[in-house]
């Protein structure tokens, strides 16, 4: 699709979310990184997924030493753009609302983050082990970069 | 009637990675399904964080052997996106050719196994026989039948020699003739129509809520294809069609894959003739701190890689999302409501998730008595085909 | 008995067990059965249950979740049986030796008789490995 159409949609998203987005980095028409507050997560995700029809690609957790950051990736397939939405969760209370309440695609993704990084997703329908063995030691999260802090 | 549980997995005689399905059945109907994965989890993301950007491509190549170039594709896209470099055009063309050759061999492989599941072992043998043509091309141009180690950030490792081109085009012609035979075999066979139509329907709404990708989504009328939506490599320079069908049943998934192979042949031919001369590698020097996203359309759907770099020579975080991760979950809706004979097929139709087991047993929940084992279930599926055959 | 022994050695039934592999080796094993290589004409047959197997072809890097199941499966195998480790992952661990979720190499969990390195080994190599396993199997039968 042409660049202008892509820009139109992104401008619309940006205006609509202007109250929520604390940081908007547009690298190009194909890559946008935004940062939002933890409390706005459900609302923004609902807007992107249901109103704008963005496809939920995946989410990845990143250990930032004093906080965990979850990056939710949404794809606007019509314009070939990926919007990555970052949410910071301060340690040690690693809790965030689950997106699986909105769409089932997030179910497995969140289970994976839960077991590999130890983030608890509130109101998740089935937050048990996905990849690791059921008797994997409690509190051992393999993807944490700073496990002892 | 009492509810029974059929464990499917985690080991299957024929092939593919271990996965574990528990089918809850009521008589012949599947009423619920539990999907248990993780028998294949090897900690690739962590391993990537221990390695340099050059090595990451080798690591992700070992995620999957069937589509062993799709992860490197996403990976080089991702690393180049983060480093803000682009590979030379010739490299992009060769990457595209390799990726499409792989799509053919992967779809052939699936077609063969699907044939086995419904009792058409001839299709199984034929598909795997003609698949060897592709593997031979691979062996000549990359040096290995699988795990080609062809891609690197900034380019490719080996060039395709000029004298190879006519040979490959010649072999593609041979391949096309066998594909034509498959198309006929699928489209004209009334037994296949009866056996596969209306089985394991995945609706458009389910595709969207599960965010399914690739042929699984396209068979349900959701037109997404990274090659079209967010063109990488040289896909914006060649002409091809996205195959989309409406019904979302197993038959449509077969059709999408069969027709996609023809498109792949088209792309490869255009690629081989349109390939410009020039360098095929640019050295990648520094990796700035930042982020990158890489996507590629694997035979099974969109591969998604996310990279965060802190400026060192290893990634700070490397996230890999394979298409199957989204697609396997759809079995939770598409297999429910089917008969057991159809469930094996439905589970197989998504592609990676073969009902991998050596002991697929129907266990009576209370008495723990064995009712079916796996071979009985394949037999059930095959018998149903036989019955249909007699009808026609 | 000697006739039975001879027949068993001539037509080994193999069982394929993936312990968390990338599928490459697994595909090449199936590939041995299909028209290009067609080992079935020598009497080599892939069986669905380990209880029928003479040779176990094991692939992959021994995922921690699989370990328990692989042990159970190995105990179910009839004796004598030969274990063949196919591919670099199961032989020595490949780079998966660094992973948190693998228990490489396979020989730590169950005894291995024949190693076939390669990533993936070519079908020719696999066939050669199976032939070597036949020798091992013969030895084991004699020593019983």
Determine whether B174 is exposed, middle or buried from the number of CB atoms within 10 Å of its CB (0-12, 13-18, 19+): exposed
Decide if pLDDT at C4 tops 70.
no
- Inform me whether the C-beta atom of residue B41 falls under 8 Å from chain C C-beta atoms: yes
Instruction: For residue C53, list chain B residues with Cβ-Cβ distance below 8 A.
Output: none
**pLDDT 10s digits, B195-243:** 888 888 889 998 998 888 889 899 999 999 999 988 988 999 999 999 9
Q: What is the ipTM of this complex?
A: 0.91
Report all structural domains of chain A as residue ranges with CATH numbers, in order of start. 3-93 (3.30.460.80)
Residue by residue, DSSP assigns B263-299 as HHHHHHHHHHHHPPPS--B-------SEEEEEEEEET
- Inform me whether the C-beta atom of residue B359 falls under 8 Å from chain C C-beta atoms: yes
- Inform me whether the C-beta atom of residue B152 falls under 8 Å from chain A C-beta atoms: no
Distance from CA of C2 to the nearest CA of B (A): 30
Decide if pLDDT at A1 tops 70.
no
- Inform me whether the C-beta atom of residue A78 falls under 8 Å from chain C C-beta atoms: no
Residue with tokens 């059921």: A134
Q: What is the pLDDT of residue B358?
A: 24
Decide if pLDDT at B359 tops 60.
no
Test the C interface: residue of B358, B370, B377, B378 with most C CBs within 10 Å: B358
Task: Give residue B252's Cα distance to chain centre.
Answer: 16
Instruction: For residue C64, list chain A residues with Cβ-Cβ distance below 8 A.
Output: 132-133
- Inform me whether the C-beta atom of residue C64 falls under 8 Å from chain A C-beta atoms: yes
pLDDT band at C52 (very low <50, low <70, confident <90, very high): confident
Q: What is the mean pLDDT of residues A74-84?
A: 89
Residue with tokens 């429910």: B336
Q: Which residues contact B71 (CB under 8 A, 6 or more apart)?
A: B60, B61, B63, B64, B296, B298, B303, B305, B320, B322
**pLDDT 10s digits, C113-141:** 999 998 889 999 999 999 899 888 888 88
Q: What is the mean pLDDT of residues B363-373?
A: 37
Q: What is the pLDDT of residue A44?
A: 92
B145 and C36 in contact by Cβ < 8 A?
no
Strand partners, A60: A71
Decide if pLDDT at A126 tops 80.
yes
Question: For the domain B44-321, what is the CATH code?
Answer: 1.10.645.10
Determine whether C3 is exposed, middle or buried from the number of CB atoms within 10 Å of its CB (0-12, 13-18, 19+): exposed
Of B91, B97, B89, B56, residue with least CA distance to B74: B56
Q: What is the pLDDT of residue B368?
A: 34
Test the A interface: residue of C65, C99, C102 with most A CBs within 10 Å: C65
Percent of all residues in chain B with a pLDDT value above 70, rounded to a whole number: 83
B308: DSSP letter? E
Decide if pLDDT at B14 tops 60.
no
Q: What is the pLDDT of residue B339?
A: 77
Of B48, B92, B72, residue with least CA distance to B294: B72
Q: What is the mean pLDDT of residues B191-198?
A: 84
* Residue B22 dihedral angles phi and psi, to the nearest 5°: -115, 110
- Inform me whether the C-beta atom of residue A130 falls under 8 Å from chain C C-beta atoms: no
**pLDDT 10s digits, A65-75:** 888 999 999 99
| Under 8 Å between Cβ of B31 and B343 | no
Virtual torsion, Cα B349, B353, B359, B361, nearest 10 deg: -60
- Inform me whether the C-beta atom of residue A142 falls under 8 Å from chain C C-beta atoms: yes
From the list B229, B326, B329, the residue facing A80 with the nearest CB is B229
Distance (Å, rounded) from C-alpha B329 to C-alpha B353? 10
Instruction: Please provide the average confidence, as pLDDT, over all residues in chain C.
Output: 85
As given in the structure block, the two tokens for residue B115 are 């044939």
As given in the structure block, the two tokens for residue B384 are 């149903």
Virtual torsion, Cα B151, B155, B158, B161, nearest 10 deg: 130
- Inform me whether the C-beta atom of residue C65 falls under 8 Å from chain A C-beta atoms: yes
- Inform me whether the C-beta atom of residue B221 falls under 8 Å from chain A C-beta atoms: no
Distance from CA of A127 to the nearest CA of C (A): 18
Q: What is the pLDDT of residue B376?
A: 62
Residue by residue, DSSP assigns A36-96 as E-GGGHHHHHHIIIIIS--EEEEEEEEE-SSEEEEEEEEEETTTTEEEEEEEEEESS--EE
How far the first Cα of chain B sits from its last, in Å, is 34
From the list B43, B63, B132, the residue facing C100 with the nearest CB is B43
* Residue B273 dihedral angles phi and psi, to the nearest 5°: -80, -30
All partners of chain A with 3 or more CB pairs under 8 angstroms: B, C
Instruction: For residue C65, list chain A residues with Cβ-Cβ distance below 8 A.
Output: 132-133
The DSSP bridge pattern shows strands A31-36 and A81-90 to be parallel
Distance from CA of C102 to the nearest CA of B (A): 6
Q: What is the pLDDT of residue B380?
A: 67
B128 and C35 in contact by Cβ < 8 A?
yes
Decide if pLDDT at C5 tops 70.
no
Flag the least confident range among A93-97, B147-151, B299-303, B336-340. B336-340
Q: What is the pLDDT of residue B37?
A: 67
Task: Indicate the class that CATH gives domain C2-138.
Answer: alpha beta
Higher per-residue confidence, B388 vs C129: C129
Helix, strand and coil content of chain C, in percent to the nearest 5, comes to 50, 15, 35
Domain range annotation of chain B: 3-40+327-391, 44-321
Q: What is the pLDDT of residue B350?
A: 62
Q: What is the mean pLDDT of residues B312-319?
A: 89
Q: What is the pLDDT of residue B123?
A: 84
**pLDDT 10s digits, B253-306:** 888 999 999 999 999 999 999 999 999 988 888 889 999 999 999 888 888 999
- Inform me whether the C-beta atom of residue A82 falls under 8 Å from chain C C-beta atoms: no
Chain A CA closest to residue B81: A31
From the list B16, B63, B129, the residue facing C35 with the nearest CB is B129
B302 and A143 in contact by Cβ < 8 A?
no
Distance from CA of A138 to the nearest CA of C (A): 15
Instruction: For residue B319, list chain A residues with Cβ-Cβ distance below 8 A.
Output: 58, 60, 71
- Inform me whether the C-beta atom of residue B317 falls under 8 Å from chain C C-beta atoms: no
B319 and A60 in contact by Cβ < 8 A?
yes
Test the C interface: residue of B9, B10, B11 with most C CBs within 10 Å: B11
Distance from CA of C85 to the nearest CA of A (A): 24
Decide if pLDDT at A99 tops 80.
yes
Q: What is the mean pLDDT of residues B296-321?
A: 89
pLDDT band at B370 (very low <50, low <70, confident <90, very high): very low
All partners of chain C with 3 or more CB pairs under 8 angstroms: A, B
Q: What is the pLDDT of residue B371?
A: 42
Instruction: For residue A108, list chain B residues with Cβ-Cβ distance below 8 A.
Output: 325-326, 329
pLDDT band at B134 (very low <50, low <70, confident <90, very high): very high
The DSSP bridge pattern shows strands B290-298 and B301-309 to be antiparallel
Q: What is the pLDDT of residue B7?
A: 65
A105 and B291 in contact by Cβ < 8 A?
no
Max mean pLDDT among B270-274, B362-366, C65-69 falls in B270-274
Decide if pLDDT at B375 tops 70.
no
Say whether the peptide bond before residue A92 is cis (omega within 30 degrees of 0): yes
Distance from CA of A7 to the nearest CA of C (A): 40
As given in the structure block, the two tokens for residue A50 are 């249901």
* Residue B156 dihedral angles phi and psi, to the nearest 5°: -130, 170
Domain range annotation of chain C: 2-138
Q: What is the mean pLDDT of residues B115-139?
A: 87
Distance (Å, rounded) from C-alpha B213 to C-alpha B117? 23
Instruction: Please provide the average confidence, as pLDDT, over all residues in chain B.
Output: 81
A31 and B293 in contact by Cβ < 8 A?
yes
Three-state DSSP class for residue B185: helix
Decide if pLDDT at C91 tops 60.
yes
pTM, two decimals, is 0.88
Q: What is the pLDDT of residue C85?
A: 94
């Amino acid at each position: 699709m042409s660049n202008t159409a892509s820009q139109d949609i992104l401008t619309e998203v940006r205006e609509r979310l202007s109250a929520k987005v604390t940081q908007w980095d547009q690298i190009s028409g194909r890559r946008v990184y935004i940062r939002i507050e933890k409390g706005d997560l459900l609302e923004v995700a609902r807007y992107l997924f249901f109103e704008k029809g963005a496809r939920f690609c995946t989410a990845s957790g990143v250990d930032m030493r004093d906080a965990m950051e979850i990056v939710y990736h949404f794809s606007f397939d019509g314009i070939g753009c990926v919007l990555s939405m970052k949410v910071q969760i301060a340690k040690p209370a690693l809790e965030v609302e689950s997106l699986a309440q909105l769409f089932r695609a997030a179910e497995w993704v969140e289970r994976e983050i839960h077991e590999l990084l130890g983030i608890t997703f509130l109101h998740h329908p089935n937050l048990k082990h996905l990849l690791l063995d059921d008797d994997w030691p409690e509190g051992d999260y393999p993807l944490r970069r700073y496990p002892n802090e | 009637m009492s509810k029974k549980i059929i464990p499917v997995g985690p080991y299957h005689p024929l092939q593919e990675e271990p996965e574990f399905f528990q089918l809850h059945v009521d008589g012949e109907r599947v009423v619920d399904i539990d999907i248990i994965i993780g028998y294949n989890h090897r900690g690739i993301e962590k391993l990537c964080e221990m390695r340099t950007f050059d090595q990451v491509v080798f690591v992700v190549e070992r995620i999957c052997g069937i589509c062993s170039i799709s992860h490197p594709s996403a990976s080089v896209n991702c690393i180049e996106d983060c480093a803000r470099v682009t590979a030379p055009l010739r490299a992009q063309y060769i990457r595209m050719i390799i990726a499409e050759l792989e799509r053919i061999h992967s779809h052939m492989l699936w077609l063969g196994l699907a044939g086995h599941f419904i009792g058409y072992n001839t299709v199984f043998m034929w598909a795997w026989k003609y698949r060897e043509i592709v593997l031979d091309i691979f062996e000549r141009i990359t040096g290995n039948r699988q795990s080609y180690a062809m891609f690197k950030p900034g380019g490719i490792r080996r060039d395709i020699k000029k004298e190879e081109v006519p040979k490959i085009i010649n072999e593609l012609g041979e391949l096309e003739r066998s594909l034509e035979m498959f198309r006929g075999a699928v489209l004209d066979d009334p037994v296949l129509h009866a056996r596969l139509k209306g089985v394991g329907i995945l609706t458009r709404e389910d595709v969207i809520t599960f965010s399914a990708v690739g042929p699984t989504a396209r068979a349900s009328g959701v037109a997404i294809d990274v090659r079209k939506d967010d063109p990488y490599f040289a896909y914006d320079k060649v002409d091809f069609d996205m195959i989309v069908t409406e019904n979302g049943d197993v038959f449509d998934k077969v059709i999408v894959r069969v027709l996609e192979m023809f498109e792949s042949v088209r792309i490869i031919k255009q690629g081989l003739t349109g390939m410009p001369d020039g360098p095929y590698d640019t050295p990648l020097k520094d990796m700035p701190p930042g982020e990158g996203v890489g996507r590629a359309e694997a035979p099974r759907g969109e591969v998604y890689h996310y990279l965060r770099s802190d400026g060192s020579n290893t990634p700070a975080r490397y996230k890999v999302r394979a298409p199957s991760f989204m697609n396997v979950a759809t079995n939770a809706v598409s297999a429910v409501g089917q008969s057991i004979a159809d469930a094996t097929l439905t589970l197989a139709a998504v592609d990676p998730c073969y009902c991998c087991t050596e002991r697929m047993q129907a266990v009576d929940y209370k008495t723990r008595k064995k009712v079916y084992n796996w071979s009985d279930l394949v037999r059930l599926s095959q018998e149903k085909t036989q019955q249909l055959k007699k009808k026609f | 008995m000697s006739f039975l022994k001879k027949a068993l050695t001539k037509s080994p039934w193999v069982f394929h067990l993936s312990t968390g592999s990338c599928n490459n080796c697994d595909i090449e094993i199936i590939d041995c059965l299909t028209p290009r290589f067609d080992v079935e004409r020598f009497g080599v047959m892939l069986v669905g249950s380990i209880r029928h197997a003479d040779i176990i072809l094991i692939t992959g890097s021994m995922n921690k979740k699989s370990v328990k199941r692989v042990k159970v499966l190995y105990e179910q195998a009839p004796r004598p049986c030969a274990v063949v480790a196919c591919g670099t992952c199961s032989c020595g661990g490949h780079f998966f030796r660094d992973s948190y979720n693998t228990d490489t190499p396979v020989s730590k969990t169950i005894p291995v008789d024949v190693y076939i390195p390669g990533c993936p080994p070519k079908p020719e190599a696999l066939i050669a490995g199976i032939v070597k396993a036949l020798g091992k199997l013969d030895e084991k039968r004699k020593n019983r």
